[in-house]
C-alpha cells in the first residue's frame, strides 16, 4: 500500500436543480510531502455513452446535429453541434444505454455494438466517464425516424454522410465535439471504412 495522498474530504451541495454540483474541500499531499488544503467545485451528471455508426458497404457514417446551449454561450454562433449519437446512462449498463439511445436519436435498431474506450470527459470539474462504442449499421436496421424524444425536448437531425465528408468536416473545424473527434480518429486509425 502506498501513502494516502487525500484526506479530510468534505462535500457541500451547491445545486441539485438538474444534476449535482458540490463544493469539495480536501487535504492533498504534494510530492514534497507537504499537505495543502484545496477546494474544487465538482459537477456530477452521471456517466454517458456514445457511438459512431458506420456502414462499410456504403462507406458512410451517421452523426447527429442538435442545439447545445453551452456551446452557444462559448463562441458557437448558432449553437448547433454535429456529434455522435450519445446519451446518459440511466439505470442500465453502457451497452444497453447506447443501443437505446441509438434508436431514439437515429432510428436505427442495433443488435450488437463494440466498446472501444472509457474516458473522463472533463476531469478537472466533472465526474462523468464516457463509454465509447462503434457499431455497424445497414439500411435494414432503420426502424424509425429518430430525432430524439419529445418528452426530453430533443430536436435532433440525423445525418448520414460519406465517411470522407465527415473527415473533411473534422479537418475544417465543422466538427468540434470531442467525443465525435475521438471516434472519427479511431475509425481512421483502425481503417474501419477502408
Binding residues for Mg(2+): 86, 101, 105, 154
Give the Cα separation of 40 and 44 in Å (integer): 12
CB atoms closer than 10 angstroms to residue 63: 25
How many residues in the chain? 194
Contact by Cβ (8 Å): 183, 132: yes
Least Cα distance to 70 among 24, 18, 105, 11 occurs for 18
Give the residue ranges of the annotated binding site. Answer: 86, 101, 105, 154
Cα end-to-end distance, the chain, whole Å: 47
SS3 content of the chain, % helix, strand, coil (to 5): 25, 40, 35
Least Cα distance to 85 among 180, 188, 193, 186 occurs for 180
Bin 18: left if φ > 0, else alpha if -120 < ψ < 50, else beta. Answer: alpha
Amino acid at each position: 500500500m502506498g501513502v494516502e495522498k487525500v484526506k479530510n474530504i468534505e462535500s457541500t451541495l451547491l445545486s441539485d436543480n438538474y444534476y449535482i454540483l458540490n463544493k469539495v474541500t480536501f487535504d492533498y499531499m504534494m510530492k514534497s510531502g507537504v499537505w495543502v488544503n484545496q477546494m474544487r467545485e465538482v459537477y456530477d451528471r452521471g456517466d454517458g455513452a456514445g457511438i459512431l455508426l458506420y456502414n462499410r458497404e456504403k462507406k458512410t457514417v451517421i452523426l447527429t446535429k442538435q442545439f447545445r446551449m453551452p456551446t452557444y454561450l462559448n463562441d458557437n454562433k448558432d449553437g448547433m453541434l454535429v456529434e455522435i449519437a450519445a446519451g446518459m446512462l440511466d439505470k442500465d449498463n453502457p451497452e444497453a444505454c447506447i443501443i437505446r439511445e441509438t434508436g431514439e436519436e437515429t432510428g436505427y435498431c442495433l443488435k450488437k455494438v463494440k466498446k472501444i474506450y472509457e474516458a473522463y470527459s472533463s476531469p478537472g470539474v466533472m465526474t462523468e466517464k464516457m463509454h465509447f462504442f462503434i457499431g455497424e449499421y445497414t439500411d435494414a436496421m432503420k426502424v424509425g425516424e429518430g430525432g430524439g424524444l419529445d418528452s426530453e425536448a430533443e430536436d435532433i437531425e440525423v445525418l448520414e454522410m460519406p465517411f470522407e465528408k465527415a473527415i473533411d468536416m473534422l479537418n475544417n473545424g465543422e466538427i468540434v465535439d470531442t467525443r465525435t473527434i475521438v471516434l472519427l480518429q479511431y475509425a481512421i486509425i483502425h481503417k474501419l471504412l477502408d
